[in-house]
Amino acid sequence: MKSRAKVIIWISVFAIGGLAVLFWIGFQTMEIEDRYGGLQEIYYQAENGDIIIDSNKRAGFIYKDSHRIFVEENECMKDLNNWVGVNGEKLKINVYRPEYLETFTENITSEKLIKFIESQKLDPIITK
């Protein structure tokens, strides 16, 4: 009888633990969807060091946190939503993943990043 009770307790503990993990994953996914909406594809597919360019020819590097994604542009770090929604207009966004990343010793401008992308002949991994 005692071994049967132990088995039931262990099964209950694992079931409750499994449900807690499922809830945690679900809440984290909902948080990302609420925060980024239509941009969540960028959150899931982009990696640190990817290059993002919008239709206004603004460019920057992507940096990911465990729950957030940031864009560094002209030595200024902004959340992806703030970077995209500066003027409140709908922008076309392309994300590129360079095979190698050059070391830029001076300020990085959008023109330099666009030339860098053209020199490597990169195709966008995400087009939004």
Residue 63 CB coordination number (10 Å):
16
Q: How far apart are CA 74 and CA 58, in angstroms?
A: 10
Per residue in 50-61, pLDDT (tens digit) is 889 888 888 888
Q: What b/e string do you get for 18-33 counting C-beta neighbours within 10 Å, with b at 16 or more? A: eeeeeeeeeeeeeebe
Does some domain include residue 21? no
Q: Which two tokens stand for residue 50?
A: 């990817």
Does some domain include residue 45? yes
pTM: 0.76
Per residue in 113-125, pLDDT (tens digit) is 788 888 878 888 8
Count of domains in the chain? 1
Residue holding tokens 């088995």? Answer: 7
Does some domain include residue 67? yes
